Chain A
C-alpha cells in the first residue's frame, strides 16, 4: 500500500483493440530493470500479435475472418482455432449457456476468450523467462505473479473502476503475494466496449433484461476470471449463484441501480 510509483516500471503496447501494460518492480540498477522489462514486453507482445493474427475479426486476412465469411469451416480450421473453440464450448456448458463462442448471427467469435488466453500464455512466457514479480494488464483484465516488492510477500493491489465514473475506484483487491490466493482479476461491463458483451452472446432481449452493470471476478487463473465475469454479466443472478458455488472465486457486482453485490472476499474486513 505504501508502494511508491517510482519503485515500479511499466511498458505498454497496443493489441486486440486495447492497450496491454506490463509492470515490474525495480530491482537493483534501474537500467537493468528497464532492459529486462523491455525484453519481456517484446515477448508478451509477440504472444498477443500471433493470437490476434489468427482470431481477429477486424483483420480480413485472419482465419477467424475467413470463417466468418464462410470460406473455412471449423473442421478445416487450424488446431489453435479448434482448440480455442473447444475451450469456449466447454465454458458454455460449464456456465449453463451464459458464455458462448458464437454471436447471435451464428458467426464464431472467440474474442471473449482469446484475450484471456493471450494473457495466460504471456504469463507462462514471463515465468519461462525467469521473471517472478510482474503484473500484466490487458484492457482491464489483470494477471499477476509474485509481489510489487520482491521478497516481501506483499500482494499486488488492483483497483476496480467505478462504472459510473471511470476516474474513480470503487475498491481494490489484492492479487498474488505470498502465499498467493487469487492471481487474476477480470471485469466485464458495458461502460467501455459494449460490443464485447454483445459478441459474447447477449441477445437484444437479453440486453434489455440485463441486471448488472459491471461484474468483477477474482480467480486462480485469468481464463476463469474473464469467462465468469462475462458469463455473470450475461446470465445475471442465476449465473452469479452458479459461479460462486462451482468455482473458488471472489465476485463484485455493480447493479443497474448502482447497488453492490459481493462475496466475502470483497468485504472490507477480508480485503
Chain B
C-alpha cells in the first residue's frame, strides 16, 4: 500500500513536471503563440474548458494536465507574464511543442517519498517517452519496495539444524505426529 502510494506520488510528480514542461514551452514561445493560438482557439480551447476562466495565469494553463497544477507549476513559472493568453494555453502548448520536438529534463521535485526527476521526449507535439532520471532515494521506501516475496535459493536462507534452534515452526502437527517430531526431541532434551 505504502509502495503504491509512493508510485502514485511519483506519477503525480511526473504529471506536474509534464505540466511544467508544457507551460515552460508555452512561456518560451509565448510571443509567437499568442497570435497563433488566438487564431486557433477552436477545439483545443474546449478541451481545456475548465481553464477557460483564464485569469491568464499558470494555474489555468496547467489545468489540462489533470494534476490540477498544484502550485508547483505556478511556482516554477511564476508570472512570466503569460500575457493574458491563459485562455488559450491548451492550444498554445500544442502549438509550441509541435515546433519543439526533443528531449527535456525536468527539475528535481521533492515529494514526501523523496526526490523525483524525469526526462520527457517530445515528438511532433506528442510526449513519446517519460524516463525517471532520479527516483526517490528515501531509505524507507526502498525497504518497502523490496519487502516483496522474491524467489530465493535454499543456500540464501539461514541454514539451521535442530541443535541451533529453541523451537520449531511447521504445519500443525497432530498429537500423534508430535511424538516423532523435532519439537518433541527439543522438548525431551529440555525436560
Contacts and interface: CB of A to CB of B under 8 A. Distances in A.
Interface of A: 1, 3, 5-6, 8-12, 14, 17-19, 21, 23, 115, 135, 137, 139-142, 144, 148, 156-161, 163, 166-167, 169-173, 185-193, 196, 214, 216, 240-241, 244-246, 251-253, 259-264, 266-268, 271
Interface string B5-16: 000000000000
Given A170-B154, A171-B157, A141 B177 contact: no
Nearest to A156: B166
Main secondary structure of the interface of A (DSSP, over half): strand
Given A21-B187, A172-B160, A267-B156, A158 B148 contact: no
A262 B150 contact: yes
B159 A163 contact: no
A241 B150 CA distance: 11
A240 B149 CA distance: 8
Given A244-B148, A262-B157, A196 B187 contact: no
Contact of B152 (A1, A196, A216, A260): A260
Contacts of A253: 149
B165 interface: yes
Given A244-B147, A261-B150, A5 B189 contact: yes
A159 B162 contact: yes
Nearest to B188: A10
Nearest to B184: A19
A159 B157 contact: no
A214 B155 CA distance: 18
Contacts of A262: 149-150, 152, 156-157
B170 interface: yes
Contacts of B157: 170-171, 252, 260, 262, 266-268, 271
B151 interface: yes
Contacts of B129: none
A140 B172 CA distance: 5
B175 A166 contact: no
